[in-house]
Protein backbone atom coordinates (compact mmCIF):
# COMPACT_ATOMS: atom_id res chain seq x y z
CA UNK A 1 0.00 0.00 0.00
CA UNK A 2 2.86 2.39 0.73
CA UNK A 3 4.18 1.96 -2.79
CA UNK A 4 0.75 2.82 -4.18
CA UNK A 5 0.59 5.95 -2.04
CA UNK A 6 4.08 7.04 -3.05
CA UNK A 7 3.32 6.45 -6.72
CA UNK A 8 0.16 8.54 -6.43
CA UNK A 9 2.11 11.31 -4.68
CA UNK A 10 4.58 11.35 -7.57
CA UNK A 11 1.73 11.51 -10.07
CA UNK A 12 0.30 14.51 -8.22
CA UNK A 13 3.62 16.35 -8.48
CA UNK A 14 5.14 15.96 -5.01
CA UNK A 15 8.93 15.83 -5.00
CA UNK A 16 9.22 13.34 -2.14
CA UNK A 17 6.81 11.20 -0.14
CA UNK A 18 8.05 9.35 2.91
CA UNK A 19 6.34 7.66 5.84
CA UNK A 20 6.87 7.58 9.58
CA UNK A 21 4.77 6.32 12.48
CA UNK A 22 2.69 8.42 14.84
CA UNK A 23 5.00 8.30 17.85
CA UNK A 24 5.96 11.52 19.63
CA UNK A 25 8.73 13.44 17.85
CA UNK A 26 12.16 12.85 19.36
CA UNK A 27 12.61 16.62 19.50
CA UNK A 28 9.70 17.01 21.95
CA UNK A 29 11.75 17.76 25.08
CA UNK A 30 13.99 20.27 23.29
CA UNK A 31 10.96 21.99 21.76
CA UNK A 32 9.33 22.31 25.17
CA UNK A 33 12.54 23.83 26.57
CA UNK A 34 12.81 26.23 23.62
CA UNK A 35 9.34 27.54 24.38
CA UNK A 36 10.10 27.80 28.09
CA UNK A 37 13.10 30.02 27.25
CA UNK A 38 10.86 32.34 25.21
CA UNK A 39 12.86 31.78 22.03
CA UNK A 40 9.62 31.70 20.01
CA UNK A 41 8.99 35.40 20.57
CA UNK A 42 5.39 36.42 20.04
CA UNK A 43 4.29 33.18 18.38
CA UNK A 44 1.97 32.32 21.25
CA UNK A 45 0.07 29.79 19.16
CA UNK A 46 3.02 27.42 19.57
CA UNK A 47 2.44 27.35 23.31
CA UNK A 48 -1.33 27.00 22.97
CA UNK A 49 -0.96 23.93 20.78
CA UNK A 50 2.06 22.44 22.55
CA UNK A 51 0.56 19.14 23.68
CA UNK A 52 -0.96 18.45 20.28
CA UNK A 53 2.34 19.21 18.58
CA UNK A 54 4.04 16.70 20.84
CA UNK A 55 1.48 13.95 20.35
CA UNK A 56 0.03 13.30 16.86
CA UNK A 57 -2.58 10.96 18.34
CA UNK A 58 -4.24 13.94 20.02
CA UNK A 59 -4.53 15.60 16.60
CA UNK A 60 -5.96 12.43 15.02
CA UNK A 61 -7.06 9.75 17.51
CA UNK A 62 -6.01 6.35 16.27
CA UNK A 63 -3.30 7.73 13.98
CA UNK A 64 -0.92 5.01 12.84
CA UNK A 65 1.10 6.66 10.09
CA UNK A 66 2.22 10.08 8.93
CA UNK A 67 3.08 10.87 5.34
CA UNK A 68 5.59 13.70 4.82
CA UNK A 69 5.58 15.40 1.43
CA UNK A 70 8.33 17.66 0.07
CA UNK A 71 7.48 20.32 -2.52
CA UNK A 72 10.37 22.19 -4.14
CA UNK A 73 10.07 25.92 -4.76
CA UNK A 74 13.57 26.17 -6.23
CA UNK A 75 13.68 28.18 -9.42
CA UNK A 76 16.45 28.12 -11.98
CA UNK A 77 17.73 31.61 -12.66
CA UNK A 78 16.03 33.15 -15.68
CA UNK A 79 17.35 36.68 -15.49
CA UNK A 80 15.44 37.36 -12.28
CA UNK A 81 18.29 36.95 -9.81
CA UNK A 82 18.70 39.62 -7.18
CA UNK A 83 21.64 41.80 -8.06
CA UNK A 84 22.77 45.38 -7.39
CA UNK A 85 20.10 47.54 -5.81
CA UNK A 86 20.40 51.10 -7.17
CA UNK A 87 16.64 51.74 -7.34
CA UNK A 88 15.69 51.11 -3.71
CA UNK A 89 14.03 47.76 -4.21
CA UNK A 90 13.24 45.23 -1.53
CA UNK A 91 14.50 41.67 -1.18
CA UNK A 92 11.86 38.96 -0.73
CA UNK A 93 12.46 35.41 0.51
CA UNK A 94 12.38 32.93 -2.36
CA UNK A 95 9.31 31.05 -1.18
CA UNK A 96 7.29 34.28 -1.07
CA UNK A 97 7.84 35.09 -4.75
CA UNK A 98 4.95 32.78 -5.57
CA UNK A 99 1.23 32.62 -4.99
CA UNK A 100 0.30 31.54 -1.48
CA UNK A 101 1.60 27.99 -1.18
CA UNK A 102 -1.30 27.02 1.08
CA UNK A 103 -3.65 27.70 -1.84
CA UNK A 104 -1.42 26.13 -4.49
CA UNK A 105 -0.65 22.95 -2.57
CA UNK A 106 -3.99 22.45 -0.84
CA UNK A 107 -5.75 20.65 -3.74
CA UNK A 108 -3.02 18.06 -4.52
CA UNK A 109 -2.57 17.38 -0.81
CA UNK A 110 -6.32 16.86 -0.40
CA UNK A 111 -6.33 14.57 -3.44
CA UNK A 112 -3.61 12.42 -1.89
CA UNK A 113 -5.50 12.32 1.42
CA UNK A 114 -8.63 11.08 -0.39
CA UNK A 115 -6.52 8.43 -2.13
CA UNK A 116 -5.23 7.22 1.24
CA UNK A 117 -8.76 7.06 2.65
CA UNK A 118 -10.04 5.14 -0.36
CA UNK A 119 -7.09 2.78 -0.18
CA UNK A 120 -7.73 2.04 3.49
CA UNK A 121 -11.44 1.54 3.00
CA UNK A 122 -14.26 2.03 5.45
CA UNK A 123 -13.18 3.41 8.81
CA UNK A 124 -9.93 4.96 7.57
CA UNK A 125 -9.56 8.57 8.67
CA UNK A 126 -6.91 11.04 7.55
CA UNK A 127 -6.04 14.72 7.97
CA UNK A 128 -3.82 16.83 5.71
CA UNK A 129 -1.81 19.92 6.60
CA UNK A 130 0.43 22.28 4.69
CA UNK A 131 2.05 24.35 7.44
CA UNK A 132 -1.37 24.74 9.04
CA UNK A 133 -1.69 22.04 11.68
CA UNK A 134 -0.34 21.54 15.20
CA UNK A 135 2.41 19.07 14.30
CA UNK A 136 6.19 19.24 14.20
CA UNK A 137 6.55 18.52 10.49
CA UNK A 138 10.27 19.16 10.37
CA UNK A 139 11.09 16.58 13.05
CA UNK A 140 8.68 14.03 11.66
CA UNK A 141 10.16 14.57 8.20
CA UNK A 142 13.64 13.82 9.54
CA UNK A 143 12.33 10.60 11.09
CA UNK A 144 10.69 9.72 7.77
CA UNK A 145 13.94 10.35 5.88
CA UNK A 146 12.84 13.36 3.81
CA UNK A 147 15.93 15.18 5.04
CA UNK A 148 17.97 16.04 8.10
CA UNK A 149 17.74 19.05 10.39
CA UNK A 150 20.72 21.30 9.71
CA UNK A 151 22.59 23.57 12.06
CA UNK A 152 20.33 26.43 10.94
CA UNK A 153 17.39 24.37 12.31
CA UNK A 154 15.82 23.96 8.86
CA UNK A 155 15.39 20.69 7.03
CA UNK A 156 17.99 19.83 4.37
CA UNK A 157 17.32 17.31 1.63
CA UNK A 158 20.14 15.60 -0.21
CA UNK A 159 18.00 15.80 -3.37
CA UNK A 160 16.36 19.24 -2.94
CA UNK A 161 18.76 21.29 -0.83
CA UNK A 162 16.94 23.79 1.40
CA UNK A 163 14.31 25.05 -1.02
CA UNK A 164 11.14 23.08 -0.29
CA UNK A 165 7.89 23.12 1.64
CA UNK A 166 6.60 20.31 3.83
CA UNK A 167 3.12 18.86 3.75
CA UNK A 168 1.82 16.14 6.04
CA UNK A 169 -1.01 13.63 6.10
CA UNK A 170 -1.90 11.91 9.36
CA UNK A 171 -3.83 8.69 8.83
CA UNK A 172 -5.21 5.71 10.72
CA UNK A 173 -3.98 3.51 7.87
CA UNK A 174 -0.93 1.49 8.98
CA UNK A 175 1.95 1.90 6.54
CA UNK A 176 5.52 0.63 6.77
CA UNK A 177 7.76 3.47 8.06
CA UNK A 178 10.74 4.58 6.02
CA UNK A 179 14.25 4.83 7.41
CA UNK A 180 15.13 8.15 9.04
CA UNK A 181 17.78 10.59 7.82
CA UNK A 182 21.26 10.98 9.25
CA UNK A 183 22.71 14.44 9.86
CA UNK A 184 25.29 15.32 7.22
CA UNK A 185 26.32 18.86 8.19
CA UNK A 186 29.76 17.67 9.23
CA UNK A 187 32.00 20.53 10.36
CA UNK A 188 30.30 23.10 8.11
CA UNK A 189 29.15 26.28 9.86
CA UNK A 190 28.36 28.47 6.85
CA UNK A 191 24.77 29.03 7.94
CA UNK A 192 25.83 30.32 11.35
CA UNK A 193 28.27 32.86 9.94
CA UNK A 194 25.80 33.92 7.21
CA UNK A 195 23.07 35.00 9.62
CA UNK A 196 23.01 38.84 9.74
CA UNK A 197 21.62 38.99 13.30
CA UNK A 198 23.31 35.95 14.87
CA UNK A 199 19.89 34.37 15.36
CA UNK A 200 21.49 30.92 15.19
CA UNK A 201 23.00 31.18 18.65
CA UNK A 202 24.75 27.81 18.39
CA UNK A 203 24.44 24.82 16.07
CA UNK A 204 20.83 23.61 15.96
CA UNK A 205 19.59 26.47 18.20
CA UNK A 206 17.60 29.40 16.83
CA UNK A 207 16.41 32.46 18.73
CA UNK A 208 13.41 33.54 16.66
CA UNK A 209 13.41 36.94 18.34
CA UNK A 210 16.62 37.77 16.44
CA UNK A 211 15.60 36.18 13.12
CA UNK A 212 14.85 38.52 10.22
CA UNK A 213 12.16 36.17 8.92
CA UNK A 214 10.39 36.39 12.26
CA UNK A 215 10.90 40.13 12.60
CA UNK A 216 9.55 40.94 9.12
CA UNK A 217 6.65 38.45 9.03
CA UNK A 218 5.48 37.11 12.39
CA UNK A 219 6.44 40.01 14.65
CA UNK A 220 3.59 42.51 14.89
CA UNK A 221 5.18 45.34 16.84
CA UNK A 222 8.15 47.65 16.57
CA UNK A 223 11.32 46.10 15.17
CA UNK A 224 14.01 46.41 17.85
CA UNK A 225 16.53 49.13 17.06
CA UNK A 226 19.46 46.75 17.43
CA UNK A 227 18.30 44.72 14.39
CA UNK A 228 17.08 47.40 11.98
CA UNK A 229 20.41 48.06 10.28
CA UNK A 230 21.09 44.33 9.88
CA UNK A 231 17.78 43.90 8.06
CA UNK A 232 19.28 45.82 5.14
CA UNK A 233 16.95 45.78 2.14
CA UNK A 234 15.00 42.66 3.19
CA UNK A 235 11.27 43.29 3.42
CA UNK A 236 9.76 39.82 3.75
CA UNK A 237 11.78 36.97 5.17
CA UNK A 238 15.46 36.15 4.86
CA UNK A 239 17.21 33.34 2.99
CA UNK A 240 20.80 33.95 4.07
CA UNK A 241 21.27 30.84 6.22
CA UNK A 242 19.50 28.67 3.64
CA UNK A 243 21.41 30.10 0.69
CA UNK A 244 24.74 29.44 2.43
CA UNK A 245 24.14 25.69 2.61
CA UNK A 246 26.36 23.69 0.23
CA UNK A 247 23.64 21.05 -0.19
CA UNK A 248 21.82 23.49 -2.47
CA UNK A 249 24.00 22.33 -5.34
CA UNK A 250 21.54 19.44 -5.62
CA UNK A 251 18.43 21.66 -5.65
CA UNK A 252 16.01 21.06 -8.50
CA UNK A 253 12.78 22.58 -9.65
CA UNK A 254 9.50 20.96 -8.72
CA UNK A 255 6.33 20.82 -10.77
CA UNK A 256 3.77 22.09 -8.29
CA UNK A 257 5.18 25.57 -7.60
CA UNK A 258 6.62 26.26 -11.05
CA UNK A 259 3.53 27.94 -12.48
CA UNK A 260 2.83 29.83 -9.23
CA UNK A 261 5.85 32.13 -9.61
CA UNK A 262 5.01 35.85 -9.60
CA UNK A 263 7.90 37.87 -11.06
CA UNK A 264 6.47 41.15 -9.76
CA UNK A 265 7.19 39.98 -6.22
CA UNK A 266 10.90 39.51 -6.85
CA UNK A 267 12.22 43.02 -6.15
CA UNK A 268 9.30 45.40 -5.48
CA UNK A 269 9.88 49.13 -5.30
CA UNK A 270 10.23 50.26 -1.69
CA UNK A 271 8.73 53.66 -2.41
CA UNK A 272 5.75 51.97 -4.02
CA UNK A 273 5.29 49.85 -0.93
CA UNK A 274 5.40 52.66 1.61
CA UNK A 275 2.90 54.66 -0.43
CA UNK A 276 0.30 51.85 -0.55
CA UNK A 277 -3.00 52.30 1.22
CA UNK A 278 -5.08 49.39 2.51
CA UNK A 279 -7.02 49.01 -0.73
CA UNK A 280 -3.81 49.03 -2.75
CA UNK A 281 -2.29 46.38 -0.52
CA UNK A 282 -5.31 44.11 -0.87
CA UNK A 283 -5.43 44.52 -4.64
CA UNK A 284 -1.74 43.85 -5.10
CA UNK A 285 -1.07 41.10 -2.58
CA UNK A 286 -4.31 39.14 -2.27
CA UNK A 287 -3.52 35.44 -2.58
CA UNK A 288 0.19 35.85 -1.81
CA UNK A 289 2.28 35.18 1.32
CA UNK A 290 2.45 38.95 1.91
CA UNK A 291 -1.04 38.83 3.39
CA UNK A 292 0.55 37.31 6.48
CA UNK A 293 2.39 40.55 7.32
CA UNK A 294 -0.60 42.77 6.51
CA UNK A 295 -0.24 46.27 5.11
CA UNK A 296 1.11 47.79 8.33
CA UNK A 297 3.84 45.15 8.63
CA UNK A 298 4.93 45.46 5.03
CA UNK A 299 5.02 49.27 5.11
CA UNK A 300 6.97 49.08 8.38
CA UNK A 301 9.49 46.74 6.74
CA UNK A 302 9.78 48.86 3.59
CA UNK A 303 10.41 51.97 5.68
CA UNK A 304 13.26 50.21 7.51
CA UNK A 305 14.75 49.08 4.21
CA UNK A 306 14.56 52.63 2.83
CA UNK A 307 16.30 53.86 5.96
CA UNK A 308 19.10 51.41 5.26
CA UNK A 309 19.61 51.88 1.51
CA UNK A 310 17.65 54.97 0.44
CA UNK A 311 18.96 58.42 -0.42
CA UNK A 312 17.40 61.87 -0.26
CA UNK A 313 15.18 61.10 -3.26
CA UNK A 314 12.95 58.90 -1.10
CA UNK A 315 12.51 61.40 1.75
CA UNK A 316 9.30 62.80 0.28
CA UNK A 317 7.65 59.37 0.31
CA UNK A 318 8.82 58.74 3.87
CA UNK A 319 7.56 62.12 5.02
CA UNK A 320 4.14 61.35 3.56
CA UNK A 321 3.95 57.93 5.19
CA UNK A 322 5.17 59.59 8.38
CA UNK A 323 1.68 61.13 8.60
CA UNK A 324 0.00 57.71 8.55
CA UNK A 325 -2.62 57.20 11.30
CA UNK A 326 -0.81 54.06 12.49
CA UNK A 327 1.83 54.97 15.12
CA UNK A 328 3.87 51.86 14.25
CA UNK A 329 4.31 53.01 10.67
CA UNK A 330 5.06 56.57 11.74
CA UNK A 331 7.80 55.42 14.13
CA UNK A 332 9.63 53.43 11.46
CA UNK A 333 9.24 56.15 8.83
CA UNK A 334 10.76 58.71 11.19
CA UNK A 335 13.63 56.35 11.96
CA UNK A 336 14.26 55.92 8.23
CA UNK A 337 14.26 59.69 7.64
CA UNK A 338 16.79 60.19 10.43
CA UNK A 339 19.01 57.43 9.02
CA UNK A 340 19.02 58.91 5.53
CA UNK A 341 19.64 62.43 6.77
CA UNK A 342 22.55 61.21 8.90
CA UNK A 343 24.13 59.72 5.76
CA UNK A 344 23.28 62.36 3.19
CA UNK A 345 22.70 65.54 5.18
CA UNK A 346 19.49 67.48 5.82
CA UNK A 347 19.53 69.86 2.86
Q: Which of 11, 131, 277, 311 is catalytic?
A: 131
Q: Please, which residues bridge with residue 16 across strands?
A: 70
> Count of H helices and E strands in the chain?
16, 10
User: Can you tell me the distance from the alpha carbon of 289 to that of 299, in angstroms, rounded to the nearest whole number?
Assistant: 15
CB contact burial 74-103 (16+ within 10 A = b; e otherwise): bbeeeeeeeeeeeebbbbbbbbbbbbbbee
Tell which residue, 309, 290, 305, has the closest CA to residue 217: 290
Query: Is residue 11 among the annotated active site residues?
Result: no
Tell which residue, 61, 26, 324, has the closest CA to residue 183: 26
Burial of 43 (0-12, 13-18, 19+ CB in 10 A): middle
**Main-chain phi, psi angles of 253, to 5 degrees:** -70, 145
Instruction: Quote the DSSP letter at residue 215.
Output: I
- Please say whether the beta carbons of 71 and 14 come within 8 A: yes
Burial of 19 (0-12, 13-18, 19+ CB in 10 A): buried
Residues designated catalytic: 131
Amino acid sequence: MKELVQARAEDLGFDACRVTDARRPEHAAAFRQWLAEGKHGGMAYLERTLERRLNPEIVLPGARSILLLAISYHRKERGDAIGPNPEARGVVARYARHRDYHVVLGPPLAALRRFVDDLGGAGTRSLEYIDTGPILERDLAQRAGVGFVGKHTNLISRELGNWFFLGAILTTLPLQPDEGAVNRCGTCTRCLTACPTQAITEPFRLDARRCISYLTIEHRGSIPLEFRSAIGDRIFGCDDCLAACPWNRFAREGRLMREAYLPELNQPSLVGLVEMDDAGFRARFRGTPFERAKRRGLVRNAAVALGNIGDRAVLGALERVGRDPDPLIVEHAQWAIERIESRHGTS
